[in-house]
Amino acid sequence: MDIYDSDDEDDPVVQTIDVFLSQNLSGVRDSSGKSDEVMLFQYPLRPKWRPLNEGWNLEKVSYRPKNEMIEMDFKSEKTNDEFLHKLVSSKVIPRTSYAIGLLRDDQLHLTPLQSIYQFRPRFDNKDEEDVLNA
């Protein structure tokens, strides 16, 4: 069935675009031969109405490639103490293939995701738990 020959007046084709599939973003490989890795970060416990950038500054990001783990340390904008909020990732095994897309000038550029990480809070010590439970 050709979509252009359709007699469906309720749902006409309004635009056609070219689609390009790229296996990496820049096409550049590092000295080990590895190309860019496209990652999706998810925050399943964080409500949409409370984004990460509200009230917290990102202080440090640690990446542990052997464990496939990412850790982010945030510091509160509202207090001057040393309290840090930590988010730690776990790698998710996707059940299907995902890609990110960029639509520009009537062209859709798709790049497959290599990794999906879900972040959850981590409490390193009792003091942090006391502050959050107060």
CA terminus-to-terminus distance, the chain: 63
Segment 57-95, tens digit of pLDDT: 888 999 998 899 999 988 877 776 666 788 999 999 888
Q: Is residue 18 part of a domain?
A: no
Q: Is residue 118 part of a domain?
A: yes
Residue ranges making up the domain that contains 65: 37-122
> Domain tally for the chain?
1
Q: Is residue 8 part of a domain?
A: no
Q: Is residue 4 part of a domain?
A: no
pTM of this structure: 0.67
Q: Is residue 41 part of a domain?
A: yes
Q: Is residue 32 part of a domain?
A: no
Residues whose CB falls within 8 Å of the CB of residue 52, separated by 6 or more in sequence, listed in order: 43, 46, 74
